Chains A and B, each alone.
Chain A
Amino acid sequence: MILHLDMDAFYAAVEQREHPELRGRCLIVGGSARRGVVTTASYEARRYGVRSAMPMFQALELCPGAIVMAPRMALYKEVSRRIMSILEEFSPLVEPVSIDEAYIDATGSERLFGPPAAMGAAIKARIRSEVHLTCSLGAAPVRFLAKIASEMQKPDGLTVIEPGAVPGVIAALPIRKVPGVGPRTLESLAALGVHCLGDVRRLPGALLERRLGKFGHRLAALAVGVDPTPVRPGAAAKSVSSEETLAADSTDRRLLGRCLLRHAEEVARHLRRNACRARTVTLKIKHADFRLANRSTTLSRPSQSSAVLFQAADHLLQAYVLEPPVRLIGLGASNLVRQDAAVQMDLFDAGGSDGDGWSRVDRVLDDIAGRYGAGVIRRASLADED
């Protein structure tokens, strides 16, 4: 059996946990003021129709009394790590798919924790008592149904689709709920008279493949309850990035530089935590006209140092024409290499270490942040921000 865990209104729930006075109230976590979009809305706000990815002004029209908070990613990531480590006590096969979502392969864990319903209840109890948050869990014999099961009862739900129940669930499952079915596919399928996943069984495989390509093949398999996608623990990230939409469009290189420094720290910390070094640094900019631009540079030697990543990105920024003004800025690191792999040394700058000694500063900062929380210590150039 495969379990799927989905935290309930994760960011909003974390904020309500941190601020007891917000409990039971409409809370929206999202982009600054009226420019941004809703990242997460508490269940109280959802009752008014507020949804994720909705423009903030629209959300506030629906729910004028809502309290809006800017996301605190560092905090959520810490909570997420805590949750993932709880999951890892139940099975070695845990695959986090996002900050608040993970698959758990429970095969073989049943001897220790009992049937999926008992194991699911135990996971929920641990998360409730240790992290003080609720989640929704789904369990099913295959991966895609586990996700569908976790959506069946939200919030705080636990749904098990037993193997015997699979054909019935598939027969009645609305096709739009199947992962990978978007508006285009939905349209093609509706033309074929498909409204539930079970309907797909009536169609010949060749027709599906002609209409939907490779996905047709997968859909035919899903329709008979087959999903070969395994749960892959620690599917190593290929890139790491961090970005933000600014409170106001800007051409101020110093301000943008400070943003980059913050994101460089975030990205570098992630690299260090995952024992990786990046060879390529990318500056991402979205202009006020929503035009996206990426500028990349290759480091002479892979790095996980905040200072090195920042310098590379800032160099790209200084050479970049900020016209029209910048709406969003971010920093990405890719071409990752494992930290335990040997690093080729350079002929022409013999002796220089990774970030000229900054690696020790990074280590100390990581230790302090690990013990007292991110944000208690930061660079002086970022001191006047909150």
Chain B
Amino acid sequence: MTGARRTGLLGVACLLGAWLTAAAAAAPKPQGTAPGDFGPPQGEPIHAQLTSPPFVPPPIHRNHPAKVIVELEVREVEREISEGVTYTFWTFGGTTPGSFIRVRQGDTVEFHLKNYPDNKMPHNIDLHGVTGPGGGAASSFTAPGHESQFTFKALNQGIYVYHCATAPVGMHIANGMYGLMLVEPPAGMQPVDHEYYVMQGDFYTVGKYRERGHQEFDMQRAIDERPTYVLFNGSEGSLVGEHALKARVGDHVRLFVGNGGPNLVSSFHVIGAIFDRVRYEGGLHEQENVQTTLIPAGGAAIVEFHVRVPGSYVLVDHSILRAFNKGALAILKAEGAEDKSIYSGKELDSVYLGDKAANLAAVSEARAAEASGTLTKAQQIKAGESRFTGTCSVCHQANGEGLPNVFPPLARSDFLMADKQRAIGIVLNGLTGKVTVNGNVFNSVMPPMSQLNDDELANILTFVRNSWGNSGEAVSADEVKQIRASTRRPEGAAH
């Protein structure tokens, strides 16, 4: 942003409401036929700084329209969609969602779309912030190893989705080809402490949720609108654990939230926060004190809130099974001093966050060890504990004691330890009806957990058979595999 200079106060009416900075420059007068046309670009062309999610390029402090050059490269890349599950993403800039583009209203944008030579597919781009046929798609159809160029004037301010629009459009979008472009108002936006970029998308794989290995796109599921995954920023792990968004108590946070679809509409909500302001659908008007805001597929919103007390704030699609069973969950972690006058200080229930918030390092370590044939019982126990938390602990409790008359205990359980094969079968296939555990009769239902993989189940069982006073031999993935193959079950239940 060389040569950018702030001009003095001109004290013009705040047409753009709170989105103008207090020290804003005058709203420029339109010069062309369109309201957002502030005339020809001035100064040297600027190369736009693009950022990967969840980061947003810095605010533009510029008082004149410029020529901005955007260079976006399409890459087809294989990466994790969930722990141990890979998927081939088609991306703008190497990530899903694609690189964040930030320009100023009235800027003339020279857009270069590059299709990496090793890609297999032709691609193009439809920017919702472009006025003109196809939003650029008509001018950007590009074969692998080629580059297209077109130029547009950013006439309308706001937050806009862009996406690939090459046939079959639904497949290109479902593979992750979408992102956001912010067209700042001429006088800029109110400074905040953090700006983050979060974008939801639905994904359709041949294999089930969390089924290990490389998963292919499933067109039929996409047509049926039955996603396997609903995700923020293209991966279950993208915004949790060490990758969680960060803020401090007192911070003013602005989220640019998009929804790439291809199918679902998002009910975007942050557990534990109320949005001070929402520019719903990315438009100019704002709503205040919003709990949940609807973000259409191919749409976006700007939401702002203040962090008042420390803790983990959970971003979800409040169509809530998507959050807890399909991955639409992210964390904003706020540090700072408690304010007991606002909130007593008890943090979110760890069981509620479930395994998504857990550190999965132990699971990864066990998986690597298993692959290299060096898996130890201790590693299995550690990995099993991570998976137990949030899955099994919901009923059997974190201490393995269960709940009297409702959920049988696992701690010092005669029933559990009596028969290893039976235990494997129960976890895989579920159990309904009377059982006697440590002399107490339970008559309840345990759903099948067959959605978990052989190694996950082996680790969980090894953990419970060696915790809370239990002591037994390890359970191997092969044992689980054998019982899975030789028994029948309903389709895997969720936790």
A and B part of one assembly: no
Q: Which residues of chain A have a CB within 8 Å of any CB of chain B?
A: none
Q: Which residues of chain B have a CB within 8 Å of any CB of chain A?
A: none
